[in-house]
Every structure is written in C-alpha cells, then in structure tokens.
A and B are shown apart, each in its own frame.
Chain A
Amino acid sequence: MSLLAAAGPLEPAARSFLSPTGVEIVFLLVGVAVLGAALVTVTTRQLVHAALWLVVALGGLAVEFLLLTAEFIAWVQVLIYLGSVVVLVLFGLMLTKAPIGRSPDADSGNRWAALAVGLATAGTLVTLVVDAFRTSWIDLGAGAGSAKATGEYLFRHWVLPFEALSVLLLAALVGAIVLSRRDDEGKKPRPRPGKLRAGKPVGTSSGKES
C-alpha cells in the first residue's frame, strides 16, 4: 500500500466525484455502454447476437483505452479482438452448428448459482476497489501510450518476453492446427460408445459432419 500511496498524486480535496471532467463523463458514458453490451452478451438467447454484442463491448473498451491515453493498445484491441477474435468466435459458433435465432436453452441450469456468484463477485470487488482507490487520481498526460513510446519500452525493456511470447504463439498455432486437423478418410475417430454421454446430437443427422 505504501507503493500505491507514494505513486499517485493524491489531492482528494480538489477532485470531487460531483464535478467530473469531460474525459470522465465520456469515460462513464462509454463505460455504461460497455457494461450494457457485456450484459447483453452474457444474457441474450441469440448466440450470434451475443458475438455481435461482444464486438460492441470490446470496441467500447478500445475507446476506454483511448481515453486512458493508451492509443496503441486501443488499436491493437480493435485489430486483434474485433478483427480476429470475434471472427474466430463467429466461426466457432457456425462450426458447432449454433442455431440461428432464439435458442431457449442458451443458459444452463447453473444460472441462478451463477447469478449469485457473479453478484457476490461484483459486490466484493467493487467494495474493495472503491474502498482502496476512491481518492486516487490519474493525471492523464498525453503520449504515454503512443506507438512510439510503446515501441520504445517494448523493444527496449520487454524484448525478451516479447520473443518468448512469439514462441508461445507459434506453439498455440501448431496446437490449434493439430487439434482441429481432421483425420483423413478411413481414420476417422469414431465416438467411443462407452463414453458417449451426449444427448441427441445438435444439428443434422449423424454420420455427416460439416
């Protein structure tokens, strides 16, 4: 706590929650939008819509990053999340033959327990965070997250983790290929009868897969 107390400028008297700055107002509005989109994502019964609302939430987060002066991260967010992850998710949905339209069984039976746990988590975290940081203030100096600055610290201080990460990405790539590679004809892995615990298959008739 001493580290945190020493790090940030603490001027509680000057900064009131009741007189927000413009940045704060924008941040709050976008934040509300992000929360709303996230809520819809985890509650909607249309699976594809969920993916699309995820786009909204993640995009909103990119805006928040921008507001926090982390430009480069914001664009990376847009590129990777909005560009690739969501696309992957959509592909996943389609490959698993997710039904288009409202599916009544989008939520599992664990829903109420999940709600309780989620609310408890939210309550605890918010309480803690507000209790700890209600007087902390961020001085938003410009340029701290620019591409230039990012490049500097990334390739000056973080170059070894960066390279390690690239190896990890490669491994993930190989793994994903291995996992999703379909065995060729004749060596099709058949479902083992003893382990077949699924109910009726979702989608088309058995034996023919996409």
Chain B
Amino acid sequence: MNLALPVLVPVLPALGAVATLASGKRAPGLTRPLAILPVAASAVLALVVALQLGTGQSLDAATRLAPTGGPELSLALHLDGFSSLISVLVGLVATCVQVYSTAYLKDDPRYPSYAALVSLFTAAMFLVVYSGDLVVLLVGWEVMGICSYFLIGHHWETADARSASLKAFLVTKLGDVPFLIGIFLLGADAGTFRIEGVLKAATEGQLSHPTLTALLLLAGVAGKSAQFPLHTWLPDAMAGPTPVSALIHAATMVAAGIYLVARLLPVFLTSGAALVVLSVMAAVTMVGSALCALAQDDLKRVLAYSTVGQLGYMAGALAAGDRQAAVFHLVSHGAFKALLFLAAGVIIHAAHTNSLSAMARMPELRKKVPDAYWTMGIALIALIGLPPFSGFFSKEAVLTAAEHAATGEALTNGLGPASAVPSAAGWIVLVAAGLTALLTAAYAARLWLLAFHSAPVALTAATDAPYSAEIDEADPAHAEPPAMRWPLWVLAIPTMGFGLFGLRSDWLPALLDGGSLRPALETAVIATGLAVAGALIGYGAWRSVTARAAAAAERVPEQAGPPAAETLAPALPKPLADPGRLLLGPLFGPALHGFHVDRLYSALFVRPTLAAAQLVRFLDREVVETYVRGTGTGANLLGWAVRRSQTGNAQTYLSVLLGAVVVLTVLVAVGS
C-alpha cells in the first residue's frame, strides 16, 4: 500500500494551517477554502486509507528520526483498524466543524487564526492516531493541548475565556508531566519508543514496574480525557466557541486519552491495580458528571458534563479490558456528541443565550430551529442509549464488557488473559454504568424538555437573557445559514446508523480486535429499562414542577416575573421549574457547582501556590530588591564620598600621596 496517503493525512491540515495563517490578512477570500479543503481532503484520504487497509490488517512503517544513544526516536506509522476508524471519525467531525465555523464565526475578525488552529489541531490529532512512536505521539498530544488552549481562549476579551484556557492548559499539563515520565519508563523498559515494541515487551512481561508505569500514564489520560481528578477543565472549556467544543471537547481531543489507553491496553493489562484505579476513576467520573449535568443551567455545560460522563464509559470499558467496546463507544459518541454541540450552537445562535432557563421562556424555539430540534432529539436518544441508535449499541458493548469482567471472563480479545482484569473493576464499572444510564436519561430528558417544550410564559424574558458567552454571533433574527444546518444532518447519519456496524462480526469487530460487539440480552434489557425509567422520571419531574410553577404563577399573578425565571426574580420564593432541582434535592447546590471540586482544588493547590508566589514576590521585592537597591545606594554614597575628596586642592592630594608613601614605606620596612 502506498505510504504517501497515510503520510498526507496529517500533513495536509498542517500545511493548510500554515497557509491559512499566512493568507489570513492578505487574502481573506482564501481563508475559507484554505480552512475547509485540506481538512476535507484529509478526511477523504483517511477514508481511502481505511478502505485500502481493509479489515484485520495492520501496517507499520518507520524511519529513524533521531539517534539518542538510548532508545531511538523514529517517525513511525502504525495503521490498524482502530487508527483508521478513529481517523475517519476525526476527519468527518473536523470537516463538519470547519464548514460549520465558516457560518458560525462569519463576522469574527480572528477567524483566520481560529481556522488555522482548528486545522493544526486536526493535523495533531491525525498524528496521534497514526503515530507508531510514543514520543512522536506525545508531540501531537502536546500540539493538541496548545491548540486547545488557544481555541478555548478565542474570546480572550472575556475573563471567563482567559481563565478557562489557562485552567485547561495547566490541568492537562499537570497530567502530562507524569505521562511523560511514564513514557520514559516504558521506553527504558522496552528499549524502544515504538508502540509495537512496547506492547511486545508488555506481553512478555519485561516491564519492571507495570503498575507504576500504568498509573503514570493514567494521569496523562485523566488530564486529556477529563477523568475524575483532572476533569475540572472541561466544563469551563465551554467558554470557547461552540464548534471548538464540538470538535475538541467532545469528539476528538478528549478521545485521545481513551485512544492511547486502547493502544497501550496490554501494558495496563499487566497491572490489575491500575485497572481497578481506572475503573474507580471512571465510575466516579460517570456518576458525578451525570449528577452535575442534571443541575447545570448552561446548555453547553450540560453537554460538557455529559461528555465527561461518556468518557467515563469508555474508560470503564477499558478498565474492563475490552478496548473495542471503548473505541466503539468513542466513535459513536464522537458522532452524536459533535452533533449535540453543533445543534446546541444553532440553538444558542437562535436563542442568543446559553441558559436553559432562559430558553425555557422562549416561545416557539423549536419552530425557529427545526433542524436543531430534530437532530438534537436524535442525538439525545443516542446519548441515552435507546435502540436502534448508535449509542445503544456502543453502550451495550461497554456494559457487556463490564459484565464479563465482573464474572471473571473479561473480553480481552487475545490481548491478555481474562484473569488479568480483576472482577472488582468489572463490578464497579457495571454498577456505575447502570446508575449513570439512569441519570443520563434523566438529564437528557430535562435538557430536551426545558429547551424546547417549556410553556411559553413571560414573553419579555427573552430580551434580557442572563448571559451568553458567545460574543461573535450573527444576528439572531436571521435564520441559520445552510453551512450551519447541513453538518447536523451529516452527523445525524452516523448517529442513527453507526451502531448497526457492530452487529455483524465481519463488519466493525473485524476491523477492531475481532470480538463480538453484539448486545447481550440481559444487559440490553436492563440498560434500556434504566434509560426509559430515567427518561420517564425526568419527564415526570418536569410535569410536576411545571404544574407547580403554573400554580405558583396563578397565585402571584400581579408579579409578572416568570415562574421559571429564577435569575430574574430572586426575591420571589423560587418556583421549582427545574426538574433537576426536584430530582436532586439537597444535592442540587453542590452538583450545580461541580460538587465544589474546583473550590477544593482552589483551597488545596491554588491558594498555597498563590501564597508561595506572594512569598516569593515579597522576598524578591523586599529582600532581594533591598540588596539590589543597597548596591546602588552604596555605589552612590561611595561616589559621593570620592567626589567630596576631589576638591581640586593640590595640597590635599599631595598630603594623601606622601602620607600613603610613608605608610607604604613603613609597612615594607616593618614587613621585610
């Protein structure tokens, strides 16, 4: 097979990024084609590469990049079913996002740099996916990190965006440091940075500290994929433009961590402890993020927490030792979550607000954005996991994997013995996944009902919407341009149909590890039941609060404040228009603030750091500076004294001269 094609896949968007940047100011007309075409070409190429490769094949090519004296760095290419599948996903989502952005950021003065960064990001993601060398992979990984930083901070005029971008960067870097050390450990143990060499060493048991290495790698994965201890950056990252959220924080970058674990799963399989840690991480992430999502008011933050939760599913599947379930869910989630974000962008564009409660007060929102209404519904059903949409199948795969792991028959698909996965990890994932399925259905129902089906009350409310992070939107009075509509339908196709690929074992599973992805009957029934129950609970809660709010509104008719508007009428006894408030009860407050993890981190890490910085500043300004200033003052004083001695009186000079001569003479005479 021709090597030029897979090489071109990451190279084209990178060149496109350079060209976009170079032409941004001089030829603004070229920016859009330069942004879209290379990415689209890469997507097509990725598809071609995937088709050429076929199923069950893998391709490895390497050229030595730099001799280091130790393990060598090589520019290695590794293609197999996983990488080609994910590269197709990345290409598809990136193309959709670029097209969508042309309309969404039409009037943005920084559109060229934005488009260039998205292209560069896509290139980096392709590099991560295709790379067969851990160090080269790390390069792509970090380029994605910095692109993410810039893109989150796209609206750097707002303090939110600035702090969110900084936070995202710092938190992911916090994970990347142990990740780097883990890579070095792997390279040192295996004698090479090539992934195949590392995997070979892992299966042969050559790793000296498998648990330590796996945990170090997990730190990086947790940072990049927003798993529990380091997840806090992702909800805040929604300060970036919505297409960026769709591309980076839903479909691709956060998936990089999952993808990496999938690639290195044999390493993790050598350490049961690391798998248990991963499962606990995934479980806490799933449940916590679902609870948070139930309480959020910001549409994009709901989606962000849901992303965190779905990533937790994938991590859970990996903890259960089944990487093809994880990647299956990754791809289907990538499609429907990108769709969700893009639809959310349309809605935000139309409603001119991020706030669900503000949307709830808008009449006829669903009539204004029919495409978003329908596609979002599809994507939400996929998210909940109802058949026959893709989410159902992929989630079933995860649950099946967890169940098998719990009973000690983990579906490792030949990567390691089934006994390598502790059954505790399976149980943890299984229970958490079931609970999360319920919660997911509840918050999805809440989102859907609040955004589109609320009783339109208090028409004035729409005018003073609480806030909108987007400052660059087009006039909401106009309908969305086609460039913002048709990517939704393009993404809706895989959202609906992708799951079917997993049914036949010679379709998707053949591309991956070859195990079955067919849903098992018991888990399917349980999970579907849970999802339906969750949706019904959400609906019931919504009905209940709506009725109560209507009653409250009748009781206080003279106070025109809309019953749903907790932001507008803080003085009123707040009507429980939010089903999340009813469902969560006392947990609502903590969940709204992400269970105060941020505050905890602030107390634990940020404040000591700031205090240390203050101390250093004090030391620098008061102590070091005093010495510096003292040097200056001393030199001044010395100069003043010396200057005083320059009287111009020759007799004084001569006196000093002769006196010194005498002293010298005496010294010499006495000393000799």
Contacts and interface: CB of A to CB of B under 8 A. Distances in A.
Interface of A: 108, 110, 113-114, 116-117, 120-121, 124, 128
A110 B649 contact: yes
Given A110-B649, A114-B651, A124 B659 contact: no
Given A124-B665, A124-B666, A128-B669, A117 B659 contact: yes
Contact of A114 (B655, B662, B663, B666): B655
Given A117-B662, A121-B662, A124-B662, A110 B669 contact: no
A113 B666 CA distance: 18
Contacts of A108: 649, 651
B652 interface: yes
Q: Which of B655, B662, B663, B665 has the most CB of A within 10 A?
A: B662
B669 A121 contact: no
B659 A116 contact: yes
B633 to A, nearest CB: 30
B525 interface: no
Contacts of B666: 124
A177 B668 CA distance: 44
Interface of B: 649, 651-652, 655, 658-659, 662-663, 665-666, 669
A124 B649 CA distance: 26
Nearest to A131: B669
A117 B658 contact: yes
Given A124-B666, A128-B665, 19 more contacts: A108-B649, A108-B651, A110-B649, A110-B651, A110-B652, A110-B655, A113-B652, A113-B655, A113-B659, A114-B651, A114-B655, A116-B659, A117-B662, A120-B659, A120-B663, A121-B662, A124-B665, A124-B669, A128-B669
Contacts of A116: 659
Contacts of A124: 662, 665-666, 669
Contacts of B658: 117, 121
A128 B655 CA distance: 21
5 contacts: A110-B652, A124-B662, A124-B669, A128-B665, A128-B669
B77 to A, nearest CB: 83
B656 to A, nearest CB: 8
Nearest to B651: A110
Nearest to B663: A120
Contacts of B655: 110, 113-114, 117
Closest 8 CB pairs of A and B: A110-B651, A113-B655, A120-B662, A117-B659, A117-B658, A117-B655, A124-B662, A121-B662
B655 to A, nearest CB: 5
Contacts of A113: 652, 655, 659
A117 B665 CA distance: 13
A132 to B, nearest CB: 11
A114 B653 CA distance: 11
Nearest to B657: A117
A199 to B, nearest CB: 14
Contacts of B651: 108, 110, 114
A114 B652 CA distance: 9
A114 B659 CA distance: 9
A121 B652 CA distance: 16
Contacts of A117: 655, 658-659, 662
Contacts of B669: 124, 128
Nearest to B658: A117
A108 B653 CA distance: 14
B556 to A, nearest CB: 92
Nearest to B649: A110
A193 B496 CA distance: 101
A196 B155 CA distance: 70
B661 to A, nearest CB: 8
Q: Which of A108, A116, A124, A128 has the most CB of B within 10 A?
A: A124
A120 B659 CA distance: 8
Nearest to A108: B651
Contacts of B662: 117, 120-121, 124
Contacts of A121: 658, 662
B548 to A, nearest CB: 97
A54 to B, nearest CB: 19
Nearest to A114: B655
Nearest to B650: A110
Contacts of B665: 124, 128
B650 to A, nearest CB: 10
A113 B653 CA distance: 11
B27 to A, nearest CB: 66
Nearest to B660: A117
Nearest to B665: A124
A8 B577 CA distance: 127
A140 B663 CA distance: 36
B278 to A, nearest CB: 87
A118 to B, nearest CB: 9
Nearest to B662: A120
A107 B658 CA distance: 19
A128 B658 CA distance: 17
B662 to A, nearest CB: 5
Nearest to A110: B651
A110 B663 CA distance: 19
A123 to B, nearest CB: 9
A124 B665 CA distance: 8
A180 to B, nearest CB: 21
B236 to A, nearest CB: 71
Contacts of B649: 108, 110
A6 to B, nearest CB: 22
B580 to A, nearest CB: 89
A116 B663 CA distance: 12
Contacts of A114: 651, 655
A110 B651 CA distance: 7
B23 to A, nearest CB: 66
Contacts of B663: 120
A120 B666 CA distance: 10
A124 B666 CA distance: 7
A34 to B, nearest CB: 22
A26 to B, nearest CB: 32
